[in-house]
């Protein structure tokens, strides 16, 4: 990525949502030249599979599908299927984000029904502080669900989830979620501009 002609360097920025956020956090923790990371509704844990990098293995936190609930519409709610984060920020399934070279921005929806994103972001923040790192920026949006995407993308209230192989709800109130997407995009651009270099005097994107 550093060799790409459109990458200014000397570092790169990473942006991920959900599992993609956890992949970005893992990359920032183990790879060099990651100058800034944005994690949207990630968990900061290994989730359902072991993370391997060289001699390091992070065991999965695991889940229990028996904790799945069925909503009034018949769609599944899986927000509570993950196992408890015993030990908090020192749980062995936590991604060692204290190793990251650059700052991390956590963006979370308080109505996320994939998992407790707000709780995980606060736990990650405690982990960084416990390891002598600066407190990260956590932007939390009331009424926002799981898929906080770029502005004006339609909210995805429910869709097929691979784990239960059924439709699940993602949470979010339409107005609050849409407003969160507009504001979050501004926050992301500002964060990357600050830590990757560049200018905030840019033409706003129009769809």
Catalytic residues: 18, 112, 146
Cα 127 to the center of its chain, rounded Å: 16
Cα 50 to the center of its chain, rounded Å: 18
Residue 142, φ and ψ in degrees, nearest 5:
-60, 140
Cα 2 to the center of its chain, rounded Å: 23
Task: Tell me 67's DSSP state.
Answer: G
Residue 32: CB atoms within 10 A of its CB come to: 8
What is the three-class DSSP state of 140? strand
Please say whether the dihedral angle defined by the alpha carbons of residues 27, 30, 33 and 36, taken in this order, is positive or negative: positive
């Amino acid at each position: 990525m550093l060799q790409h002609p459109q990458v200014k360097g000397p570092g790169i920025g990473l942006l991920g949502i959900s599992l993609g956020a956890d992949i970005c956090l893992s990359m920032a923790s183990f790879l060099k030249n990651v100058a800034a990371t944005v994690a949207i509704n990630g968990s900061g844990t290994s989730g359902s599979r072991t993370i391997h990098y060289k001699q390091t293995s992070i065991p999965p936190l695991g889940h229990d599908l028996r904790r799945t609930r069925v909503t009034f519409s018949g769609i599944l709610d899986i927000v509570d299927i993950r196992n408890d984060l015993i030990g908090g920020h020192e749980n062995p399934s936590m991604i060692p984000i204290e190793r990251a070279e650059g700052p991390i921005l956590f963006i979370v929806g308080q109505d996320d029904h994939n998992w407790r994103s707000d709780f995980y972001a606060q736990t990650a923040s405690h982990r960084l502080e416990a390891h002598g790192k600066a407190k990260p920026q956590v932007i939390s949006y009331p009424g926002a669900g799981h898929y906080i995407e770029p502005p004006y993308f339609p909210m995805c209230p429910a869709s097929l989830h691979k784990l239960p192989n059924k439709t699940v709800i993602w949470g979010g109130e339409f107005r609050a979620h849409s407003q969160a997407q507009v504001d979050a995009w501004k926050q992301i651009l500002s964060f990357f501009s600050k830590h990757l270099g560049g200018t905030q005097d840019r033409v706003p994107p129009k769809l």
